[in-house]
Amino acid sequence: MVHLVLLLAASVLTASTGLLPAGAPVQPPQARIAGTQLALISTIPAVALRDQAAAPAPETNPYLDVELVDEGVDAEGRWFQTLRLTIKAGGTLADASEAIYGDQMHNDEMFEAARRTNPELRGPQFVPIGQQLEVTVSAASTYVVQEMTMDEATGASIKSFFNGAQETVYPKARAGLLRIVDFPADARASTFVFSLDERVLEIAPGSRLFEYRYNPGDAFADIVQSTYGVASAKAMQDFIARTGWTPDRWPPKANESRRVILSTVTAWEDEPITPVTVAPSGSITSQKLIELNEERAAAGVYPIAFAGSGTTFRVRITDSTLTARDVSRLLYGSEDSYLSIATKGGISLPVDGAGKVPDDFNPVMLGRVFDVHVDYVDEMFVLNVYGRDPRIRANITRLVNGTVIVDYERATPEESGLQRGVYYPTGYKKVAYRLNDTIYILVDFLHFVFGRPADSLNRYAQDLDRQDFVASVIWNWMPGLPRELGDVVDQSRIVDTEDGRILEVVVAPGAYSGLQGTIFYTWWIANPFLTLLTMVFIASMIVIGLTQLLRRRR
């Protein structure tokens, strides 16, 4: 493997952070940058640091002149560069070795390169001023300083390398960002090879490597902004997944660090969300609804789809102050669903030995992105409470989203009959009906006699078939249920509760025609048993009349 080259100034080479400890093992096949102990490595689309206001730094290397004399792609498709080094006053072959390999262990190799241009050389210690030597290296793994500048605004030193890479080192932590290395998007390099802490890393072209170490007072969003160039939810999610640092567990310990290699060509800006701006037909377009939607949007909660009985919201939080309880209030009007919000956001619930979540658990949702479907009736933002209607023995409530909730009174919990009717702004409705045990047993027996499913079905499927049969019979035949012309059953189920068996039916609106437009169908909706008896009576009268008519003709 061709070695990584980094040419440093003599003052940098003698700095305590610039060289390996004395006696430390050096692995020549692995390239290294002296003094670089990176804590966090990230490859995001490179940003041209040359746009910074830069002033020339002192002479790049007082002991060597380095120039690029040739480069290209060899027969094996590898990008190479040929560098010419000229020894200046005070310079030695050890300086040349340091420039090419980052150490002084390759003096013999430098001597052989010098002898190719000056065969009269007697030894490495006799290299004259002006001696030239040419070295061919792999441009994808060799980093030779071409120019050094200083950013006047930040005080950062900027090193530009012959292979197009660029390193920026900040004198002080700026939101924890200490060092940046940009790798060029050069098609001649399939990958750049970089050695760090005795590990060889492969980094894609057009990427960025940066160093970050936590400093007390750093804000989570600022770290992401400094690292990715944008404090988007997408960038935050990636940062969380790869570092393990989450907003709800921030801050980490002082000087805590991470090492991460990220995607190379990913755009970190959040994709635009197009919220559903038109409310469902029949909803209350009040000022309260407008204000609620504006408050949600400001927090990163957007309605993206309306369904028959609820809304799908996309939650994308970039506010560092929002917690799971806050998001629950924005969606449901209360904090009761904060645990499900945390779970949907990918946060694990801390359960104690008793299997309970601590009461003070309230994670920060910064950077979380997820979709959640909320039933209209669960958006408990009340617009009006009409109170008790004595005609139907029920309490009526209207929500901001246009949903009307009718809660029916019962003398006892065991009393059968309507419990609740929910009328959605989309025309759907949901009915909860407490079943009479005797009627339930009778209908269940009818299913056993007439509607038994195939024995090939498993027990779970057979139970679902039985529930569908019972729910359908009761919905279509039981008097007092709020059936209307055009009703189409969308969902139905029977739920066992402490108060008994509850029939839950979600009904969709539908067009009606034909039989549904006749007076008999209207009667059937109101009272199916009486309508059936009436139809049987009329049919009987017709049969009797026809029978008498036939007898007279005979």
* Same domain (yes/no): 492, 552: no
CA distance 76 to 61: 33
Domain assignment present for 322 = yes
In a domain, residue 388? The reply is no
What distance in Å separates the CA atoms of residue 443 and residue 469, rounded to the nearest whole number?
A: 8
Closest listed residue to residue 80, CA positions, set 193, 208, 189, 228:
189
**According to the model, what pLDDT value does residue 334 have?**
94
Q: Residue for token digits 């310990």?
A: 253
At 251, list the tokens. Answer: 């801050």
Q: Cα–Cα distance between 390 and 200 in angstroms, integer?
A: 80
Please identify, among 179, 204, 226, the residue that sits at the C-terminal boundary of a domain. 226
pLDDT attached to residue 549? 76
Residue 393 gets the label, from left (phi > 0), alpha (psi -120 to 50) or beta, of: left
Nearest C-alpha neighbor of 54 from the set 169, 163, 181, 148: 148
CA distance 435 to 415: 9
Spatial separation of the C-alpha atoms in residues 125 and 348, rounded to whole Å: 65
For residue 416, what is the domain's CATH number? 3.30.70
Same domain, 80 and 198: yes
Query: Which residue, of 362, 378, 394, is where some domain finishes?
Result: 378
DSSP H or E run through 523: helix 519-526
- 56 and 145 fall within a common domain: yes
Contact call for residues 464 and 490 (beta carbons, < 8 A) = no
Cα–Cα distance for residue pair 506/492, rounded to 1 Å: 6
Number of domains in the chain: 4
Torsion of CA 37, 43, 44, 49, to 10 degrees: 50
Statement to judge: residues 207 and 308 lie in one domain: no
- Are 193 and 100 part of one and the same domain? yes
Asked if 82 and 189 sit in the same domain, the reply is: yes
157 close to 36: Cβ distance less than 8 angstroms: no
| 246 domain residue, yes or no | no
> Domain check: are 501 and 542 in the same one?
no
Q: Are 318 and 221 in contact (CB under 8 A)?
A: yes
Task: Report which of 372, 379, 416 is spatially closest to residue 397, judged by C-alpha positions.
Answer: 379
Alpha-carbon distances, residue 118 vs 94, 114, 133 (angstroms): 17, 6, 9
Q: Are residues 534 and 503 in the same domain?
A: no
Tell me phi and psi for residue 538, to 5 degrees: -65, -45
Show the domain range for 80: 10-19+27-226
Residue-by-residue DSSP string for 477-501: H-TTS---TT-EEEEEEEEEETTEE
Tell which of 207, 226, 245 closes a domain.
226
* Predicted local confidence at residue 249, as pLDDT: 74
Specify whether 169 is located in the same domain as 57.
Answer: yes
Classify residue 527: in a domain, yes or no.
yes
| Sequential DSSP letters for 425-463 | TTS-EEEEEEPPHHHHHHHHHHHHHH-PPPTTS-HHHHH
41 near 126, Cβ under 8 Å? Answer: no
Coarse DSSP helix, strand, coil percentages of the chain, rounded to the nearest 5 percent: 30, 25, 45
- The pLDDT score that the predictor gives to residue 85 is 87
How many C-beta atoms surround the C-beta of residue 436 within 10 A? 17
Q: Count Cβ atoms within 10 A of the Cβ of residue 487 and give its class: 0-12 exposed, 13-18 middle, 19 or more buried.
A: buried
Q: How far apart are CA 245 and CA 257, in angstroms?
A: 10
Q: Is residue 490 part of a domain?
A: yes
What is the pLDDT at residue 55? 47
CA nearest neighbour of 104 among 114, 115, 95: 95
The alpha-helical segments, DSSP class H, found in 118-209 are none
Residue 303 maps to a domain: yes
Phi-psi domain of 486 (left: phi exceeds 0; alpha: psi -120 through 50; beta: other): left
Distance of CA 104 to the CA centre of its chain: 48
Whether residue 308 sits in one domain with residue 189: no
Do the domain assignments include residue 387?
A: no
Instruction: Please state, as a whole number, how many other Cβ atoms lie within 10 Å of the Cβ of residue 468.
Output: 17
Question: What is the Cα–Cα distance from 373 to 383, expressed in whole angstroms?
Answer: 21
In the numeric block, which tokens belong to residue 472?
């359908």
pLDDT of 379 reads 92
* Residue 1 within any structural domain of the chain: no
One domain, residues 498 and 528: no
Per-residue pLDDT of the chain (554 residues; tens, 9 = 90+): 333 333 333 333 333 333 233 333 333 333 333 333 333 444 444 333 334 444 444 456 788 889 899 999 998 899 999 999 898 998 888 888 888 877 788 888 888 888 898 888 888 888 888 988 899 989 998 888 888 898 888 888 999 999 999 988 888 655 577 888 888 888 898 889 987 777 888 888 888 888 888 888 888 888 888 888 888 888 888 888 888 887 777 788 877 887 777 765 678 888 888 887 755 555 555 678 888 888 999 999 999 988 888 899 999 998 888 999 999 999 999 999 999 999 999 888 988 878 899 999 999 898 889 999 999 999 999 888 877 777 778 889 989 888 999 998 876 777 888 889 999 988 899 999 888 888 888 877 777 777 666 565 677 777 777 778 888 888 877 777 887 777 788 888 888 888 788 888 888 887 655 444 444 455 555 556 566 677 777 878 888 877 877 777 76
What's the token pair of residue 291? Answer: 């204000």
* DSSP SS3 for 78: coil
* Contact yes or no for 202/193 (Cβ under 8 A): yes
Q: Looking at the structure, tell me whether residues 78 and 194 fall in a common domain.
A: yes
- Residue 415, pLDDT score: 80
